Structure 1
């Protein structure tokens, strides 16, 4: 379906980024890392002013910013995106982010909001709903977005395999993909969905960004892994990330950390370690 998107070209980003938290503000203000970029959750800033919004504006003057939405609920149609997208558009115009992303998930039903990004059943009807919502989002902000693959905790009945589903969504909507490597690993462990097969089936040109993070094991669920973003990146995820770099090249890569926050200096060490790994794969595939 056609889209009336802006002809403006967003700035480009490369290298490794970090999740920004207000508690990091003082340390970041003293930082000199020219290739670093930061991600913030869109909804934490699009509906507020005052010190929080001013803090983001200051950050955007020094570093590229990625906006990562968690409230779009693009996987279902029981809500109205209109007001939300007005707020997002205003933030995009102010910050001029290098990347804008959302999730292949749903979190709203009959005006009730859930504190989770719930995976959708990959049916053809669900695909059409997702594409319509992505198109609405992109038309509202005047730019293409990336959409992120979900974590799977239980097996659902699907009509379309996940790589095929995501590629068709990208083709028909004009969006790109944000591939969360940790989500792939957790889905592999939790549901037996092969992470390496997934990577092999996704062509490099459609991948705009990669996420990596640590996770927790839920002892009550017999070893099921939880996408908590609360730990350093484990070797299991780093090894899978290397596979992704081999397949796609050194795409922009974000370290997610949303809980159990360390001091910023510890996170910066993890950033430098991942940057060194990424630099091994800086040959250009796509």
Structure 2
């Protein structure tokens, strides 16, 4: 279903730095998710510049594995699904509504892609496409915790969109719809999604005027000790237990910043276009 026959598995494993076991076990899933999140980059450059993001596996492999570019959740999840399918994992794709800055009475579209992996009678939420993603899968049970990375996550079964029951992923923060000290990051149900469903969601995110990824570039990089974002021209660095540090950069500084901080490479023509578009945006 996920076109794993087209996957260059060796190229993927080399790119993410995984030289361990390839059997479909929890240990392998944990190692692959950690390697994927830390070594493949996250950006919305294509939607900002071209209003087009391709989801065919050949294009994703060329972009994320060979050209040194990043992608967003649909690209990451489609690639990871092909990897898991190739290795013999059983899983279901799902869609989530990102809720940060919103609440359950004003839902956003379900445009975040994730996987639920079945292993030895348990189910695990594998989210490799959020940018600041958990470094390991989280067991899909009420109260499931993800504590492997610099920031913790919590899964709760609760009322979500308009009071319907479903799953909520919480991150540390103050939110009215989560337990004390937590805020809802995204909500989802277990309704299966198929590649064509992701094509439709991707089209909205990549091209619709209401998509934030069309109006400005958003770049993320998570490391084990820091999290960097570039939101248009605002560069922010967060470290566990410290206040975030932000600064404004100028359009012509962005290509070098992408290379130096985010490990994202754009060619000369794309760099010029990015600088021009950012300059126009700020005019």
- TM beyond 0.5: no
TM-score (norm 2): 0.29
The structure whose residues are more often helix, as a share, is: 1
TM-score (norm 1): 0.28
The structure whose residues are more often strand, as a share, is: 2
